[in-house]
Amino acid sequence: MSVNETPSATAGGVRQPGYGRPLRIGVWGPGEVGGAVIRAAVADPTFEVVGAKVRRDAKHGRDVGELAKIDPIGVYATSDRDEFLALDLDCVVVTPAPAAVLKGLDDDVIALLESGKNVVSTAAYHNVSMPNWLSAFRRSPEELLQACHTGGATLHGTGVHPTFIVERLAMTMAAGMSSVSHVRSVEAVDFSSAGAMWGGLHGLGFGADLDTLSAESPVARGGDLYYGDLTGNVAHALYGVSSDRVRVETSLRGLPATRDATIGSTEIREGTAAALHLIHRGFLDDHHFFTNEECWYLAPELIYRGDHLPFDGFSGSISYTLIVSGEPAEMRAQLEFGPHSGHTNPITNASVRAVLDAIPAVCSARPGVLIDDVSPRYRHDDRVSMA
């Protein structure tokens, strides 16, 4: 199914109660993910795209559809923060570059919330209560919550991972267990065509000397903002504990290239990192309850999908392994994205679906911070009725 054929984001194509019109959305940072959100939202009658905030002046005044690589939609992007804040929007989808989290994103999100705009973000805000190394330099959870109440708005962070893979799939698996002692999630992705994404291959650590990679490396510190938040969410889902009880240990290692290689425009020397293995381990006191592993590699030079996996047979460029340990048995799942086509890669598309699915619920929620909830839910079967 192409992006322009995507079905309605809400179950059964029915909008949330209280909205007899399309939900008016704007996109803050229409890059790869933001552009995919625009394409999917334009194709979905649940939504109306009415604005976009761009960073570069060169994009100011451009048609938002053209920026998203579709036909013009008669809506024009702005680089002016105040002009965007003045728009009448039900929800803003925030999809900036990861580095924006370090460069004042909290101030922008608070301004959006205080102006009465609900916010769904793919960068940070998956768990605003989770302490990490950046906490001292960011706005506090209390400030974010206060902004929600000031503007009568709601904040939600979502995406493919965190959110879809662990909070939804793994936690749904965990619901079939009597008790859970440990959850392991392994993401394996071929980055050989990533190009300038995430700051480029060298920025991530590919091609680095192995002894220079550690938990203090930029990619590991950046990962804390995603996988550290995720660790706190798993603890809350499994054990009902607050984030301040969770201890996270991070490690990063490189696996060496066996020869000199050129990946796109990036030179990888023999013996330098052709794959990265980033691990976040979650602890409650001495109980190691969660392990998240990111295996990012450069095929065909080095294909690495993780150690001691229960499954063989992976063949695609994007794969996941989930293992839930406990009683009465260990539960295992293998997931792989096969060949794909169209504007959007599968990881980005899964993030887009999570975003669009969340918007009606976020707009209908009372002010505050919204998180995913995989608790069982039920509804009447409207396919049957009394004569």
Q: What are phi and psi of 284, to 5 degrees?
A: -110, 105
Predicted pLDDT of residue 16: 44
Residue 134: what residue type? L
Predicted pLDDT of residue 144: 98
Candidates 250, 247, 251, 329; CA nearest to 287 is 247
The DSSP H or E segment spanning 254 is: strand 246-256
SS3 268: strand
Predicted pLDDT of residue 12: 34
Alpha carbons 368 and 364: distance in angstroms, whole number: 11
Residue 192: what residue type? S
Alpha carbons 78 and 55: distance in angstroms, whole number: 8
Measured from the Cβ of residue 168, the count of other Cβ atoms closer than 10 Å reads 17
Top-level class of domain 3-157+348-370: alpha beta
Predicted pLDDT of residue 200: 80
Candidates 86, 64, 83; CA nearest to 74 is 64
Each residue's pLDDT, cut to its tens digit, for the chain (387 residues) gives 233 333 333 433 334 445 689 999 999 999 999 999 999 999 999 999 999 999 999 999 999 999 999 999 999 999 999 999 999 999 999 998 777 877 889 999 999 999 999 999 998 899 999 999 989 889 999 999 999 999 999 999 999 999 999 999 999 999 999 999 999 999 999 999 875 556 689 989 999 999 999 999 999 999 999 999 999 999 999 999 999 999 999 999 999 999 999 998 889 999 999 999 999 999 999 999 999 999 999 999 999 999 999 999 999 999 999 999 999 999 999 999 988 766 678 899 999 999 999 999 999 999 999 999 988 889 999 999 997
Alpha carbons 148 and 119: distance in angstroms, whole number: 10
CB 49 within 8 A of CB 55: no
| Helices and strands in the chain, H and E counts | 10, 14
- Sequence ranges of the domains in the chain: 3-157+348-370, 161-339
